[in-house]
Every structure is written in structure tokens, then in C-alpha cells.
Amino acid sequence: MTTSDPASRFIDRVLETIERHDLLPRGRRLAAEREPCIVGTSGGPDSVALVRVLDHLVGEGRLAVAPVLAHLHHGVRAETADADQAFVEALADGLGLPLETGRADVPAEAQTGGVGVEEAGRGARRRFLAEVARRRGARAVALGHHGGDRVETVLFHILRGTGIDGLAALGPQGPLVPDEGIAIVRPMMHPDIGREEVLAYLRHIGQPWREDETNRDAAYTRNRLRHEVLPMLARAVNPAVGRALWRLADQAEAVQKVLDEALDRVWHRIVREAPADDVISTEASRSESERRNLAVPGPTPAGQAGRATPTLLIDADDFAALAPWLQGALVRRAVQRLGGGLKHMSAARTEEVVSALVSKSVAGPVHLPGGLAAERRRRAIRIGPKA
């Protein structure tokens, strides 16, 4: 039963989310039998609250996981980043939890990839968390996104122009490395957990946190949505605007699962992977046995050896015969699998790319995010690194 105690309310809602979506193994187990769970920890209030609540639930015997904190030094604002890492190290030491740390030069990655620092940072963190999960043999990576983040993200996507996948963003769970069975879980993804509930929990248990000085900078679109747009909508349009957006996201998530199953079938039938330097053939289309889907890794982490980003080849005739929404979904999946990111692949931009590929037998190259390009040479479409 939920009480008036802010800490108890917060803990109950987190456990409710974990149970409802089966995010993490539950129950009491010996320490040696608990499954490792990587917890992305920046030092900010959301990730610190996640660390503390998971540690609490494990201590009470309600979760059968072994939390492993993971912190990436992002190379932005060096002194602040150093202090963030020192804070996380002290937090891990105080709770007696293992900690994995890593370093990335996010500004350099942003410049090389032609993307913003924020987007490059997200990519670097995801690769780092995947590395830690592999090293620790973990199947789950827990992140500190909460219900308020989901509401802001859905509104942000609506205003930019989005499809179903944008409305379904930030669900309680999703793939991190699908082909390896490593998932992202968000135990604080509850409609009644927002920033204020997170801070109330931390204050109640006397837990400090690190504050990102950019969180109140109005130059950032997310901050304007949080501090200006959403409060205005609540006053002028609907006091329960957050709940309305949450319901929309839930419905979109259910629809997205159906669409993903349809996309999977098409992908396996008409897409294949080829080496990065593969040249599109203008001869007859491949045999059905050649049309296969192979796992495509994300960008090789900085400082690690790895193969170049591969190329995806798509049967152009089959692509042209698809329903428009399937064409767009296939292009977006290709960009995502090749590490391009979808921030600049709005619904309108996706339509432009599809139109270019189906309107002529020879088209492109059409520029895509992350240094990728799409081009058509008669019966084959190539999506991969720019030539």
C-alpha cells in the first residue's frame, strides 16, 4: 500500500514498474546467484536515485540482481567531468558496489561524425554500456529515465514531426544489443515518477547528487519544454497533459510492436549485408537464398580495432512494392543499424529519402545521418558509408 512517505512511494512505484514489465529478476537469492545488472551512473539525480533504489530493493530481498555501476567520462567540460567521476567513485565505494569507468572524447567524435555533442555523447554511452555488459555477462542495462522524461520526449518528437516510433520512445524496456540479448531497462519509467519525485526521494534519504549546469539553460530545447511549454499547456489546455502524452506513448508502443514484427519479415526477405566497399551490381537481382539479414554492429568504439561499417543492399523492385510506411521504416532501421542515429531522420526527411529511391531507377547518393548515404542503381539500393 502506498504511503505518504515520499521514499516509500518512490520505491513502490519503481517495484511496480519492474514487476509489471518483468524488467529484472525478483526475489531473494544468495549473492553468488544474483544476475549482474549494469547501472548507467552519471552522478546526476536520476541515475543516483536509480542506484539507491535498486540497492535498497536488493537489500530487502525483493530484487535478485547484482548492480554494477558504469560511468563514462565524456571529455566535455573537463573539470566538471572529473568531479562527476570522483562523485560516482565515492558513491560506489560507500555502497560497496563494483564500478566500471571509461573515457571518450565526445567533442572529437561529434566533429568526426558531423553530429551534435549531445548525440555523439548518447552514442558513446551506449557503446560503453554494451562493452561493460559483455564483460560482466549482464543481460540488462538499467538507465535512470523516468516518466517525466518520456512525456518531454514524446512532445519533443511531435513538435519535430515524428512517426509511430517517435511516439513510442522511452518505453520501460528496449534493445541495446539485440543480437546478443542485452536489453535496456528503465525501472523508473512510471507515469507518477518525474523529476520532483526523484528529488523528493533523494532528499528524504539524505543522498546528495551532482547537478548538470545545463539543465536550466533555456538554449536547450528540452529545458524549454520542461520549464516553459509543458507548464503553459497544463495551464491553458489540459491540466493532465502529462498523462495524456503518456497514454499516447503507451498506445504507440503497442502499435509499434505489431509494426516491428511486419518489418522483421520484410527485412529478412529483401535486405542483405555486404562489405563496406561493395559496388552495386546492375545485373539481375539476387536469388532468394542470398536475401538474408545479418547482424550489423554499431560504430566501432574509439580506440578499439574493428571492421569498417558495412553496407546494406536492398532489392529495389521489392522495396518499391512495399507500403509507404514499410519503406520508411526499413530505411530508418537501416540507418539505425549502421550507427547513423535517427535524430535527423524525421518523418518528413524519411519521406524525402524514400521518394528519391523509388522515383528513378538511378538515384543518389542521398545523404543520411552519421556519414551514411543511400543510392539506387537500377535493381539494387545501397545504404552505407558515403563513397
Q: How far apart are CA 160 and CA 166, in angstroms?
A: 10
Rounded CA-CA distance 299/310 in Å is 10
Averaged pLDDT, 73-78: 81
The tens digit of pLDDT for each residue in 108-158 reads 877 776 667 777 788 889 899 999 999 999 999 999 999 999 999 999 989
Domain ranges within the chain, ordered by starting residue: 6-146+186-237, 254-385
In this prediction, residue 217 carries a pLDDT of 52
Specify the CATH number of the domain 6-146+186-237: 3.40.50.620
Q: Does the pLDDT value for residue 192 go beyond 80?
A: yes
Q: Model's pTM, two decimal places?
A: 0.78
Residue 282: pLDDT band with limits 50, 70, 90: very low
Q: Which residue has the higher pLDDT, 337 or 232?
A: 232
- Describe the strand order of the beta sheet including 173-177 as a list of residue ranges: 99-103, 65-73, 35-40, 140-142, 182-185, 173-177
Q: How confident is the model at residue 75 (pLDDT cuts 50, 70, 90)?
A: confident
Flag the least confident range among 72-81, 259-268, 274-283, 312-321. Answer: 274-283
Is the pLDDT at 256 greater than 60, yes or no?
A: yes
Q: Closest by alpha carbon to 43, among 172, 202, 216?
A: 202
Q: 173 Cβ partners below 8 Å, 6+ apart?
A: 21, 23, 183, 184, 185, 186
Mean pLDDT for the stretch of residues 190-207: 96
Q: Is pLDDT at 319 greater than 90 in this prediction?
A: yes
- Mean pLDDT estimate for the chain: 85
Q: What is the arithmetic mean of pLDDT over 270-295?
A: 49
**Is domain 254-385 classified as CATH 3.30.465.60?**
yes
pLDDT at res. 220: 66
Residue type, 25: P
DSSP string, 151-189: HHHHHHHHHH---HHHHT-S-SEEEEEGGGTEEEE-TT-
**At residue 285, does pLDDT exceed 60?**
no
Q: With CA atoms as reference, report the closest residue to 145 among 123, 175, 170.
A: 170
The sign of the CA dihedral 127, 133, 139, 141 is negative
> What is the C-alpha separation between 117 and 302, in angstroms, rounded?
15
Q: Which one is predicted more confidently, 177 or 200? A: 200
Per-residue model confidence (pLDDT) at position 67: 97
pLDDT tens per residue across span 153-175 = 999 989 887 878 889 989 999 88
The grid cell for 212 is 548538470
